[in-house]
């Protein structure tokens, strides 16, 4: 049983977002990032549903992977903590999420300047597009595919539970734009932002799990 991904059946709790409102021409994955609030998801069932399980979130993100491109291989933290997120995909049917191992990682700031300069250095200029202004939430680990070995790959579908502590990335080999919204799961009942870990989230979302033996295009 993998510790990276599970399919979820949560059809009443899918965000309703109009991706056509965002300008993405010529923009690659590091150049697009948007921080959202629950209200931006246009589904007023999501927040109370998470609260009913003891969860909340102050970190809801919006990503874009253009056609025939990949996202940066990264961990969401610098110590491989098994942070759990909900992920919702829009467009790019046939694209995947990948998880990796690597002994060669770089610790970088999440600022647009450092992510772009280290991950797309072939560009003398970059376009932050709809990326949240002054986006910075600490440091992450990044690496490149030539220094990595693939551990797992799957189409996340409309909604999945994912572990973003291990190195991971998006892959969009399709002709369509791929957008994703992620909701970082946090403990509603603590005075600080305690991140929900993979095993805890897996237990909480048991009623919503689709047959976890199914990997649509998985590396076992």
Parse the chain into domains and list their residue ranges: 5-17+24-208
pLDDT tens for the chain, 220 residues long, are 899 999 999 999 999 999 988 888 888 887 888 889 999 999 999 999 999 999 999 999 999 999 999 998 999 998 999 999 999 999 999 999 999 999 999 887 665 555 555 555 555 555 555 555 545 456 788 899 999 999 999 999 999 999 999 999 999 999 999 999 999 999 999 988 899 999 999 999 999 999 754 444 333 3
Q: What is the pTM of this model?
A: 0.87
| Complete DSSP assignment for 76-133 | SSSS---BEEEEEEES-TT-EEEEEEES--EEEE-SHHHHHHHH-TT-SS---TTPPT
Please answer whether residues 57 and 100 qualify as being in contact, where contact means their C-beta atoms are separated by less than 8 angstroms: no
Spell out the CATH class of 5-17+24-208: mainly beta
């Amino acid at each position: 049983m993998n510790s990276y991904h599970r399919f979820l059946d949560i059809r009443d709790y899918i965000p309703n977002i109009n991706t056509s409102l965002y300008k993405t021409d010529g923009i690659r994955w590091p150049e697009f990032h948007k921080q959202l609030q629950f209200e931006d998801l246009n589904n007023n069932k999501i927040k109370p549903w998470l609260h009913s399980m003891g969860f909340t979130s102050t970190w809801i993100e919006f990503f874009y992977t253009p056609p025939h491109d990949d996202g940066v291989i990264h961990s969401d933290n610098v110590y491989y903590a098994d942070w759990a997120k909900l992920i919702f995909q829009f467009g790019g049917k046939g694209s995947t999420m990948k998880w990796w191992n690597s002994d060669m990682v770089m610790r970088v700031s999440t600022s647009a300047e450092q992510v772009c300069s280290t991950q797309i250095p072939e560009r003398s200029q970059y376009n932050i597009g709809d990326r949240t202004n002054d986006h910075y939430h600490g440091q992450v680990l990044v690496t490149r595919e030539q220094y990595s070995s693939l551990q797992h790959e799957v189409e996340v579908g409309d909604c999945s539970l994912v572990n973003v502590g291990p190195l991971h990335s998006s892959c969009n080999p399709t002709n369509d734009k791929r957008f994703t919204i992620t909701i970082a799961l946090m403990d509603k009942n603590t005075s600080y932002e305690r991140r929900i870990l993979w095993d805890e989230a897996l237990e909480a979302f048991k009623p919503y799990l689709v047959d976890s033996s199914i990997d649509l295009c998985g590396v076992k």
